[in-house]
A and B are shown apart, each in its own frame.
Chain A
Amino acid sequence: MTPDTAMPEDGPTLVQIRDLHFSRGSKHIFRGLSVDIPRGKVTTILGPSGTGKTTLLKMIGGQLKASRGSIIVDGLDVGKLKRGQLYELRKRMGMLFQSGALLTDLSVFENVAYPLREHTDMPEALISHLVLMRLHAVGLRGARDLSPAELSGGMARRAALARALVFDPMMIMYDEPFTGQDPISMGVLLELISTVNTALGLTSLMVSHDLEEAMSISDYLVIISEGVVVETGSPDELRASTSEWVQQFLQGRPDGPVPFQAAAPNYETELLGESSASR
């Protein structure tokens, strides 16, 4: 399945990325990346470390600008939006950062209530209702008065999820949600992500390199390497793929198309000097 023509059959796309180019300094992160993120599904973006997966999420959210190419979210070209329009779009997207990114000087309740207080004039009772409902959905209603410093990593992410959900967004982006979690927290998160996606009819876009977990709940996978999309498809399609590269990645083999040794001069020469190589 080639990247440019592959399109999931279920419903229209929510995010359409075409020919994306982005560099940081002299390093080219994206070199003509194109992908369609389907609406209403759980999509995971996979790839080796350092391929710019988090950068991609930031670009979808409009925090970084592409040097070339376009990102279209729900019909709007993110790169061309004015500040006010971008802020409006962001209200319809939720983002879960790796560390949760809760505001450290507010309690869990206040953190989840924050977007409501900032952007609406809702009465306190209504805010309280919405916040408690979200907290209950993630299982943290009892932790409402704790400060973020008192939460474990997993709990912090759940609180951040509650906050991201408070406006009933159309899409939630998850930046490495499974990294460093114990099995139980992992299970909780997996459960939450897929439940939330189905129950609220969201589109979930995850970035991860935790293969097993990602494949267990994703409907659609996108593998990125060297700044372009290498392979897309459902988990089953990918497992059946004949590409050497995909197989190395899926099975976690240390050597293959992505070599074990980084590019270096001849080993013998470097150790023993030029003369020994010619011997």
Chain B
Amino acid sequence: MSDFLQRFGRVWLGMVERLGRATLFLAQLVGGVFSLIKRPSLLWKQLHASGVMTLSIVLVSGLFVGMVLALQAFNTLIDFGQENRVGSLVALTLVRELGPVVTGLLFAGRAGSAMTAEIGLMKATEQLSGLEMMAVDPFKRVFAPRFLAGVIALPMLAAMFSAIGVLGGHLIGVEVLGVDKGAYWSLMQNSVSFTSDVCNGLIKGLVFGFVVSWIAIFEGADCIPTSEGVSSATTRTVVYSSLAILGLDFLLTAVMF
């Protein structure tokens, strides 16, 4: 029994230690962001890597999610004679929840894991050490640009996801299922508030972007510099990011809505 407790305690202590390291890492990350103002070209490059490259998967997913939502919503609402409300349901679900959350998960899987793998590989091939020996701070040149790019890109992608989702919902709801076009849009407009729904959705995106980028970069920088180490770091990024997104989503929803 005590052996079990010992191991359990050690595991937990290890996690706490890791969390502490990660927090100190975050402090250095944020510090590095300020120096980015002098070298914006680094940021554009990372925005391209994280944002533009995730765009296609986000748009396609958004379209399909919007279409599925409209379909399911219609099937349920028609029993109450409220099928005109499909627009409201699709829009609110997307803007408040699915937009930020699904985009966050997609981002973690695509851009987050790529960041971890890239940085881990840089560590394994001693590029990070090389930079340090050239008196270049890897936080400023490598980590901070990726971090800021993630924080900026995720809410933007979430907005695009929601927008195309609503359009997808329109496609199915109005064109295919026959919901009245005017009703779709006007009832939607009445129920979706810009400040409390759209803006809160953006805030969620920002928080998710912050957390996913932090985890991805930390795991990469902290990994064991072997091919095994990089691979498990990448897996950890996706798993922890996903859990963090879902957990934070609950917290944020409880606070905001």
Q: Is A97 in the interface zone, CB < 8 Å from B?
A: yes
Q: Is A118 in the interface zone, CB < 8 Å from B?
A: yes
Q: Decide if A99 touches B135 in the complex (CB within 8 Å).
A: no
Q: Decide if A104 touches B133 in the complex (CB within 8 Å).
A: no
Q: Decide if B127 touches A102 in the complex (CB within 8 Å).
A: yes
Smallest CB–CB gap between A266 and chain B, Å?
A: 32
Interface residues contributed by chain B, number (CB under 8 Å): 15
Distance A115 CA – B133 CA, assembled complex (angstroms): 10
What sequence of 0s and 1s flags, for each residue 75-117 of chain A, a beta carbon within 8 Å of any chain B beta carbon? Answer: 0000000000001101101110111011110000000001100
Distance A64 CA – B132 CA, assembled complex (angstroms): 12
Pick from B122, B127, B135: contact of A87, CB under 8 Å: B135
Given A101-B126, A101-B127; A118-B132 close (CB under 8 Å): no
Q: Decide if B136 touches A61 in the complex (CB within 8 Å).
A: no
Within 8 A of A (CB), among B124-138: 125-127, 129-137
Secondary structure at the B interface, as helix, strand, loop or mixed, is helix
Interface residues contributed by chain A, number (CB under 8 Å): 23
Pick from A90, A93, A97, A163: contact of B126, CB under 8 Å: A97
Pick from B121, B127, B135: contact of A91, CB under 8 Å: B135
Smallest CB–CB gap between A150 and chain B, Å?
A: 15
Smallest CB–CB gap between A54 and chain B, Å?
A: 10
Q: Is A27 in the interface zone, CB < 8 Å from B?
A: no
Q: Is A195 in the interface zone, CB < 8 Å from B?
A: no
Q: Decide if A101 touches B129 in the complex (CB within 8 Å).
A: yes
Pick from B122, B125, B129, B137: contact of A63, CB under 8 Å: B129
Q: Decide if B134 touches A90 in the complex (CB within 8 Å).
A: yes
Within 8 Å CB of A88, what residues of B? 135
Q: Is A129 in the interface zone, CB < 8 Å from B?
A: no
Distance A29 CA – B147 CA, assembled complex (angstroms): 36
Distance A245 CA – B105 CA, assembled complex (angstroms): 59
Distance A230 CA – B113 CA, assembled complex (angstroms): 47
What sequence of 0s and 1s flags, for each residue 50-84 of chain B, a beta carbon within 8 Å of any chain A beta carbon? Answer: 00000000000000000000000000000000000
Distance A115 CA – B125 CA, assembled complex (angstroms): 18
Pick from B125, B129, B130, B133: contact of A93, CB under 8 Å: B133
Give the interface centre of B127, B131, B132, B133 by most chain A CB atoms within 10 Å. Answer: B133
Distance A61 CA – B130 CA, assembled complex (angstroms): 11
Within 8 Å CB of A118, what residues of B? 134-136, 141
Smallest CB–CB gap between A107 and chain B, Å?
A: 15
Of all chain B residues, the one with the shortest Cβ separation from A58 is B129
Of all chain B residues, the one with the shortest Cβ separation from A63 is B132
Within 8 A of A (CB), among B98-136: 121-122, 125-127, 129-136
Q: Decide if A61 touches B133 in the complex (CB within 8 Å).
A: yes
Q: Decide if A90 touches B125 in the complex (CB within 8 Å).
A: no
Smallest CB–CB gap between B126 and chain A, Å?
A: 4
Within 8 Å CB of B126, what residues of A? 97-99, 101
Of all chain A residues, the one with the shortest Cβ separation from B136 is A118
In the assembled complex, 30 residue pairs joining A and B whose CB atoms fall closer than 8 Å, in A order, are A61-B132, A61-B133, A63-B129, A63-B132, A63-B133, A90-B134, A90-B135, A91-B135, A95-B130, A97-B126, A97-B129, A97-B130, A98-B126, A101-B125, A101-B126, A101-B127, A101-B129, A102-B127, A102-B130, A104-B122, A104-B125, A104-B127, A114-B134, A114-B136, A118-B134, A118-B135, A118-B136, A118-B141, A160-B130, A163-B134
Closest 4 interchain pairs by CB?
A101-B130, A87-B135, A101-B126, A90-B135
Q: List 7 additional contacts besides A103-B127, A118-B135; criterion CB under 8 Å.
A: A101-B126, A102-B127, A104-B125, A114-B136, A115-B134, A115-B136, A118-B134
